[in-house]
Amino acid sequence: MRRTLAIIAATAATLALLVRDPAASSSAATLDRLAKTIANEEDHVTPEELEQWIKQKKTLRLIDVRSKEEFAKNHAANAESIPMDQIASAPFKSAETIVLLSEGGAHAAQAWVILQMRGFRSVYFLRNGTSGRRYEPGRDGC
Amino acid sequence: MTALLIGIAFGFALERAGLGDSRKLAGQFYFTDLTVFKVMFTAIVTAMLGVFWLARLGVVDLANISVPETYLLPQLLGGLIFGAGFVAAGLCPGTSCVSAATGRADGLAVVLGMFTGVLLCGAADLGGAALYSATPRGSETLPQLLHVPYGVVVFAVVAMALTMFMLAERIRTAS
């Protein structure tokens, strides 16, 4: 029995050398999923939605990806500073809901892609950034 | 619910393999009983081949498999503490739960000690966030780290496991 299992394992491992890398098709599937998420507008939150989330979601983290200097000048209440150059290695938990903030929204959207590629699914960015018409940094609860 | 069922199945498999017995586990460190090595490597080979071929056949999407992130320094430190506790107690977290569930007093003592340690460590915030997030490496897998195709890593690990199984069998028959 043990010899049979060893032969099966050795055969399956040898064949693994010969077939196409499944990680390659997985990468394509990941890009496809990201594209669909963006197309369905499931990648961002509006200021109104964010206000609701702040009240409802206990595991919410507001991450400001601007520089430390910009963060020191003004920032949203309860926001944490993780500058763009640290977003690829900053520790997050998969159970957390992460909302990314930046001034115009572009850097937050780029950080969204990085965190998605790191495997975090519950990640969003604030539409139009902190300079958006309805968003007021430092406002109570936001 | 899925986690509960997998946990029960895992505990059942550990007990069936005899890994609820601290003497059997301690034997691994003195090379007098290589059951732990054989059970764990069998699990690694089974999971590795299973994930590879299920992904290759399109049943599993690798992107949906969560790979824990690596933080070298805190995980090395945690590994040392884990290893020291493993040698001292003769049980690791999983096997201590199995041992306690089967009514062994040493298993129960290890479970109580483990949870007390976790509670005290968490309350004291030893090291703080700076230590826990030091030396981040991201969600690296062996193919990414070694820059070799996934299939090569699968072949190498299975070859290594089968070779070690043969050596373990020779050690067992020689002793």
Q: What is the pLDDT of residues B72-126, one digit of tens each?
A: 999 999 999 999 999 999 999 999 999 999 999 999 999 999 999 989 988 887 7
CA atoms of A103 and A109, how far apart (whole Å): 11
Residues 6+ apart with CB under 8 A from B53: A12, A16
Phi, psi torsion values for A2, nearest 5 degrees: -65, -40
Candidate from A10, A21, A94 with C-beta closest to B158 = A10
| Banded pLDDT at A129 (limits 50, 70, 90) | confident
Per-residue CA distances from A96 to A62, A123, B109 (Å): 10, 8, 34
Amino acid, res. A67 = S
B140 interfacial to chain A (CB closer than 8 Å): no
| A114 interaction partners in chain B (CB closer than 8 Å) | none
State whether B61 and A20 contact (CB < 8 Å): no
Q: Which own/partner pairs from A41-44 qualify as long-range (CB within 8 Å, at least 24 positions apart)?
A: A43/A109, A43/A112, A43/A124, A43/A125, A44/A105, A44/A109, A44/A112, A44/A124, A44/A125, A44/A126, A44/A127
Do the interacting molecules here have an ipTM over 0.90? no
- Bridge-based pairing of strands B136-138 and A60-64 is unpaired
Q: What is the pLDDT of residues A24-42, one digit of tens each?
A: 777 777 788 889 999 999 9
Distance from CA of B137 to the nearest CA of A (A): 7
CB A53 within 8 Å of CB A59:
no
CB A127 within 8 Å of CB A108:
no
